[in-house]
Amino acid sequence: MQKRILIVEDDIHISQIIKMNLNIVNYETTEVYDGLAALEAMKQEKFDLILLDVMIPRMDGFTLMEKIQPYGIPVIFLTAKNSVYDKVNGLKLGADDYMVKPFEAIELLARIETVLRRYGKEEHVMEFQNIQVDLDKREVTIQGEPVELTPKEYDLIVVLLKNKNIALSREQFIDKVWGGDYYGETRTVDMHIKTLRKKLQLQDHIKTIYKIGYRLED
């Protein structure tokens, strides 16, 4: 089932780019441009997460936050303000995380995923073409047939699936799969991609993107 995310952001362009990034990794989105419209939208639809700008017209983010609380919907604040006071205030009011503009799309996706997981709303099984990944068992199957993967290869295919249709750089792969304190060569990524392509028959889907890295495409 697709997750529904409410984007409350008064800058149409920013709202647009968030929507585009979320849609591409299969989140469903609704955009509203002020606080009162956000309240309206919440009454009509059920959302799994709210992305909320602090400085929005008609009702500011902090006030809106108090109105959201009874719904029990996780909230990530989006704002250009990065003062400690605002962070503390936002988190005290029950925000689950905080993003300071400008931010990168994959960071936003990672945080959305973390918050959703905390609320037990993450997926248990991911599917791509004829491949199934069971996140609880850490098991990968092709048409029901299990495939042997090393732990790193498994982590790599999960990162690719979660950021489907988005190109990630070799550094970003290393950061997400091997961890920030890994000081190996980026060629390691190339080696693992090569074996993944072979083992999962993804030669046509894991694309090498010139000057950037790799992308899993439908």
Part of the chain binding other proteins (CB under 8 A), chosen from 95-103, 115-123, 176-184, 187-195: 95-103
**C-alpha of 201 from chain center:** 25
How large is the angle between the packed helices 12-24 and 105-118, nearest 10 degrees? 70
How does DSSP classify residue 26? Answer: T
For residues 28 and 1, give the distance between their C-alpha atoms in angstroms, rounded to a whole number: 10
Among 88, 91, 191, 209, binds other proteins (CB under 8 A): 209
Regarding 101 and contact with other proteins (CB under 8 A), the answer is: yes
202 contacts: CB under 8 Å, gap ≥ 6: 131, 196, 216
Q: How far is the CB of 194 from other proteins (least distance, A)?
A: 21
- SS3 category, 52: strand
Among 81, 87, 152, 197, binds other proteins (CB under 8 A): 81
Q: How far is the CB of 146 from other proteins (least distance, A)?
A: 30
Query: Which residues within the stretch 138-167 sit at the binding site for other proteins (CB under 8 A)?
Result: 165-167
CB burial string 43-66: b at 16+ within 10 A, e below? eeeebbbbbbbbebeebebbebbe
Q: Which is nearer to other proteins, 125 or 212 (CB)?
A: 212
Would the CA dihedral through 218, 104, 6, 157 be positive or negative? positive
How does DSSP classify residue 71? Answer: G
126 contacts: CB under 8 Å, gap ≥ 6: 132, 133, 135, 158, 161, 162
Query: Which residues within the stretch 109-138 sit at the binding site for other proteins (CB under 8 A)?
Result: none
Q: How far is the CB of 148 from other proteins (least distance, A)?
A: 30
Regarding 103 and contact with other proteins (CB under 8 A), the answer is: yes
Among 112, 115, 168, 202, binds other proteins (CB under 8 A): 168
The secondary element (H helix, E strand) that includes residue 15 is: helix 12-24
Count of residues that interact with other proteins, criterion CB under 8 A: 29
Q: Which is nearer to other proteins, 9 or 48 (CB)?
A: 9
Regarding 80 and contact with other proteins (CB under 8 A), the answer is: yes
Query: Which residues within the stretch 12-31 sit at the binding site for other proteins (CB under 8 A)?
Result: 12-14, 16-18, 20-21, 24
Task: Name the residues that contact other proteins, by CB under 8 A.
Answer: 10-14, 16-18, 20-21, 24, 33, 55, 57, 80-81, 101-105, 165-168, 209, 212, 215, 217
